[in-house]
Amino acid sequence: MTDDDIAMLRDHANRLSVLGSPFVAAAIAALLAEVGHWKSEAKSWEKQASDRTDDALRFAAERDVLARNAAYWKEEARRYCENADFWRSKFEVAAMKGASNES
């Protein structure tokens, strides 16, 4: 129901009240109150949905940052493993040479 519809119903309720139809006017007034309540609720729900959307976007951005950080640390770990493998092989070769020189 648009604001124009509500204004039109309010005008009808005022006319009916003046013309001596208080029950119909009261029914329309009650209807308008209910419509006003639900419009207010709808705005509240719309605000909550907007807040949740903002939260979701913020969480998605945080997730993206965490994913980039995880990728960085995964690459760092891979490089450390390669470095460790390199030095381990160097020490193994040196140990073999040392063992063969002792014989």
The domains of the chain are located at 3-102
What is residue 103's predicted lDDT score, i.e. its pLDDT? 60
pTM for the model stands at 0.48
pLDDT of residue 99: 76
Can you tell me the mean pLDDT for 75-88? 94
Any idea what DSSP says for residue 20? T
Residue 88's alpha-carbon distances to 27, 57, 76, 83, 94, in angstroms, are 89, 46, 18, 8, 10
Name the residue type at position 14.
N
Q: pLDDT tens digit string along 7-60?
A: 887 787 777 766 667 777 777 778 888 888 888 999 999 999 999 999 999 999
d(CA 29, CA 12): 10
pLDDT of residue 63: 96
